[in-house]
Amino acid sequence: MKHLDIKSRFNLFATVLIVTSMCTACLIFSISINNHYLKRIPHVQDSVNYLFQASLFAQGKLYEKSSELTPFFAVELLRYKHGKMHSHAPFFYPFVLMFGVLAGKPWIVNPIVASMTLLLVYITGVRHYNKLVGILAAILMLFSPFFLIMSATFMSHAVGCFLSISILLFLLEYTTFGKMKHALILAALCGLLFNTRPLTGVMMVLGSAICMLFPDKSARRKKYRDIMIVLAIFLVFFLLFILYQGVFSGQFLIFTFGSDHTTKMGSSGESGGYEIIALFQKFGLLQKGWQTLPYGIASVKDQIGLYFTYVLNWPKWMNFAFFFIPFILLRRTRNDMIPFVLFVMVILGYTLYYKPAIMYGPRYLYETIPFFIILTARGIDRLSGFIRSLSLTRLFRKSSGMGIASWLTRAILFGFVFLMIYRNVDQFFIRQICDRKTMGHVYGMPGCLAELKDFNNIKPVISDTVNAKGITNALVFVHPEFEHLRWHALGSVSYLNRMDFQTDVIYANDLGDEKNRELIKQFPGRHVFIAGYPSGNLTELSREGKKLE
Amino acid sequence: MNRSEANANRRTTFRRICWAIGLTVVMSLLWFCSHRGSRMHIRIDVTPGEYTFYVDGQRIYHEDIPDLNGGKIGLGFNTFYKPNLRLRDPSWDNIQVTDMETGSVLFSEDFSNDLSQWNIEEGSPYINKWEECACSTNLFMTAGNDSWSDYRIEADLYNSIESTLAFGIVADTFKGLLKIRNWREASAAISYHVDDRMTYQRIRPVVERPIENLKVIAVHFCISYFLGIGIVIAFVIIYFLFAGLAIICTISKASLRKANPSAP
C-alpha cells in the first residue's frame, strides 16, 4: 500500500471507493453498450472467428476437421484448406474468450478485461507518477469513446490494451527498481501480446528493450543481460506461435494468420495461408524492398488522423495538446519518455504494415491508448505543477495572494479539462444524432453511440425471426440479398452454430439449390428454410430445396 | 546549494532550453513545409476512339476504344469508407471541360453554388445551410451531354482522409473512370457496358505519395505541439492576471493601512 501513496485509513477508504466506482462504471458502461447497441453478438469477421475458435477451445479442441460441407458454415477469414477448420488468429485472445464461452456469457469477457485495464492505468499512474495522474488518467480512459466501445466488442484489442498497460507498468517497475522478476514478467507479457496482436507485440518488445537501456541510476544492474533474457523469453512465445499455427498447416513455416483475400461466399478458407516469407515481404523487408512503405505511411496517416479526432473526442487538435506538455515544459523524466517511446514504436510498426483496417475506430493503434492517456494526464499534472511553481518564484514568493492566484488558475485548468470531458459525453454518448461535421464520416468509425446500432451491417434479424416463429429442429440457409452483404448473412448467426450440430437450428450459407441438397441430405428429419438477409424473410423449402407454395 | 550544484543546475537548464528551442525549430520547419496540404491534378483526354488518363502531367493509362466518340463526365465516390461523405471532404475542385479543337470551355464547376449542373444518378447529395454539399449514401453524378467529343477534362483533387473517388467519361455503352483511393492508389475502372454493375479492371497503383502523407502526419503532431505551447502560454497569462490582481489588492491594502494605521 505504501507504493500507492496511501498514508491513512481515510485515504485508503477514499482510494478504494474511487477506484472501485470507476472500474464498476467502466464495466457497466461497456456491458450496456454491448447489450443495448451491439445486441451481444459479434459484428466483425474477426470477432466471429475469435468466438468460433473460443468455442473450439471450450470443447477441448484446437480445430475441427473440415469437409466438402465446410463452406456452408464458413464465415470470411475462417481457414479450412488444410483439412482443419480454425480461426485466422493467434491463440491468446480466443483462449481468454474461452472462459466467457464456458460461462455461457462470452460478451462479458471484454468489459471485465477493460475494467482491469482501467485499474492498471490507475495503479501505473499512482505508482510511477502521482495520485493526480492516476485519477486523471483513469477518468480520461473511462470517458474515451474509443476505449469504451472497443471494450464492449468481441475484438482482441481489449486484451491487447490490457497487456500493453501491463507492459508499461512492469517496464516502469524494472527501470525504477531494476529487479529481474519485473523483466521476466515483462517478457511474458510481450510474448502474450505477440500471440494476441503480433506486430504490436514485436514493436512493444523492441520498445521495451530500448527503454531497458536507460534504467534509474539507483537500479542499474546488468541491463544488457536482462535485455537478452527478455528477448529469449519472447522467442519462446514466438516459437509457441509457430507451433500453434504448425498444428493447423502441418508446416511450421506456413502462416495461417492474417487476413487475405476472400472468395465469393465470403470465406477465405481456400486461400489457406501464406509462407512466412510473405510476412517479411509484407513488412517490406524481402524481395519487394520497401515497396510497401508508401502504403504503410498512407495507412498510418489515416489511423493517426482518426486517432487525433476520436480517442478522447475533444476538439480535433485538443486531443493531443496536453500529450506534449511534459516535453514543452522541459520537465520530462524517464517515466515520461517510456510511454512516449512505446507509443512511437507501435506507430512505427504499423508504418511497415499496409492494411488500413478501420473498425470501431483506428484500431491498429488501440493498444497505445494507455500510453496516450497517461501522457495526457501527466501533461495536465505538469501544467498544474508549473503554475504552482510560478507562485514560488523569487518574484512572487514574498507577495501575499500568490497562492490564491495559483489555485484559481489551476481551478480554471481542471475546469477546462472537465468541460472537454462533459462536451465529449454530451456529444458522443448522450446525443443520438451524430455531429457529422466532426465525427462519424468514415466507415467503421462510429460518430456517436447511436451509430453502433446494426454496426457493420450486422443485425440479428434472422435469429429473431426464427425465435419469433418458434422454429426448432431446422436447417436454415441464409441468403444475402445484396452482394455487399455476402459475409454478413451467415456472420449474423454463425455464433449460434456448433460444429457437432447439436443445436436446435443450424444455419448455413446458401450455396445454390444443387449444393444445398447435399447438405439437406446430411440432416434428415430437419425442416429446411431459407432466410434473406437483411430483410429476415423466412421461407420453408422442400427436401429438394424448392420453395414450398 | 553549493557552487558545483548551482553550476550543474545551470547546465541542466541550459541543456533543456537548447532541447526546447531545437524541438520548436524542427516542429516549425515541419509545419512550414507541410501545412499547405497536397494537391493532385487529374487530366483525361478524350478523342474519338481513345482516351488517356494523366495524374500531375504523368500519363498513367491509355486505351483505344474504337466505338468511343465521347460522352458526359462522371464523378463518383466509393461509399464503403465514407458513407456519409461531404463533397467538400474529398475536395474536388476546379473541374473544367475544354474543347480540344477550339479551346473553348464546355463546362466548369467549383462547387461554390449548387449542383444544378449535375444529373444525380445515384445517391442524394444536398446543399445544407453552410453551403456545403453533402450526400448520405452512394453518390454518382454526371454532367454535360453525349454529344461532347474530342475534349479534355481537368480537375484538382485535395488530400482526403479515406475515400475512393471516381472520375471520368460516361457514354451510352462505356464507362471509363479513373479511381483514386486514399491518395495512394489510382486505377482505371473500365466498363464497356453500362448496366447495374461496372466491371473494374485494376491496372496498377500509380500514385504513391509517401512524402505527402508524411507531411500530413507531421502537421497533425505540429498543430498539437503548438497548441500545447498555446495552452501553456494561455494559463501563464491567466496566472499573471490573477497575480496582478493579487498584487494590486496587496498594494491597495498596504496603502490603506499606511493612510489609516488605526483601521482594523
The string of DSSP letters for A216-280 reads: -GGG-S-HHHHHHHHHHHHHHHHHHHHHHHHHHHSSTTEE--S-----TTS--GGG--EEHHHHH
Q: For B231, which of A305, A321, A404 is closest by C-beta distance?
A: A321
Q: For B229, which of A328, A391, A400 is closest by C-beta distance?
A: A328
Distance, in Å, from the CA atom of A281 to the CA atom of A353, rounded to the nearest integer, reads 10
Closest residue in B to A323 (Cα–Cα): B228
Going from the C-alpha of A355 to that of each of A140, A300, A351, B133, the distances in angstroms are 29, 9, 10, 30
Selected residue of B161, B164, B195, B215 to mutate for chain A interface (largest A Cβ count, 10 A) = B161
Contact: A401, B161; criterion CB under 8 Å: no
Q: For A308, which of B83, B220, B230 is closest by C-beta distance?
A: B220
Q: For B227, which of A317, A327, A396 is closest by C-beta distance?
A: A317
- List the grid coordinates of A113: 478485461
By the CB < 8 Å criterion, does A404 face chain B? Answer: yes
Inter-chain contacts counted by CB atoms under 8 A, chains A and B: 142
Q: For B182, which of A300, A356, A386 is closest by C-beta distance?
A: A356
Distance, in Å, from the CA atom of A35 to the CA atom of A31, rounded to the nearest integer, reads 6
- List the grid coordinates of A128: 510511477
Question: What angle, 0 to 180 degrees and rounded to 10, lies between the N-to-C axes of helices A92-103 and A109-128?
Answer: 120
A82 to chain B, closest Cα gap in Å: 31
CB-CB contact of A167 with A204 (8 Å): yes
Distance, in Å, from the CA atom of A424 to the CA atom of A430, rounded to the nearest integer, reads 9
B188-205: per-residue pLDDT in tens? 555 544 334 334 444 444
> Among residues 63-82 of chain B, which lie with CB inside 8 Å of chain A?
79-82
By the CB < 8 Å criterion, does A261 face chain B? Answer: no
B260 to chain A, closest Cα gap in Å: 20
- List the grid coordinates of B234: 494561455
> Among residues 304-343 of chain A, which lie with CB inside 8 Å of chain B?
304-306, 308, 317-325, 327-330
From the list A289, A293, A301, A376, the residue with the least C-alpha distance to A336 is A376
CB-CB contact of B48 with B69 (8 Å): yes
pLDDT in tens, chain A (549 residues): 555 555 677 778 888 899 999 999 999 999 999 999 999 999 998 999 999 999 999 999 998 888 888 889 988 888 887 788 888 888 999 999 999 999 999 999 999 999 999 999 999 999 999 999 999 999 999 999 999 999 999 999 999 999 999 999 999 999 999 889 999 999 999 999 999 998 899 999 999 999 999 888 777 678 889 999 999 999 999 999 888 877 876 666 666 554 443 322 222 333 333 344 445 555 544 434 334 576 677 778 878 888 888 899 898 788 999 999 988 887 778 899 999 999 999 999 888 776 667 788 889 999 999 999 999 999 999 999 999 888 776 666 666 677 788 889 999 999 999 999 999 999 889 887 776 544 455 667 788 888 888 888 899 999 999 999 999 999 999 988 876 677 889 999 999 988 888 889 999 999 888 888 889 988 888 999 999 988 888 988 877 666 655
Which residues, in sequence order, are CB contacts of B8 under 8 Å at separation 6+? none
Selected residue of B89, B139, B224 to mutate for chain A interface (largest A Cβ count, 10 A) = B224
Q: Give contacts of A324 with chain B, Cβ < 8 Å.
A: 224-225, 228
CB-CB contact of A49 with A77 (8 Å): yes
A29 to chain B, closest Cα gap in Å: 27
Contact: B81, A404; criterion CB under 8 Å: no
Output the pTM of the full model: 0.82
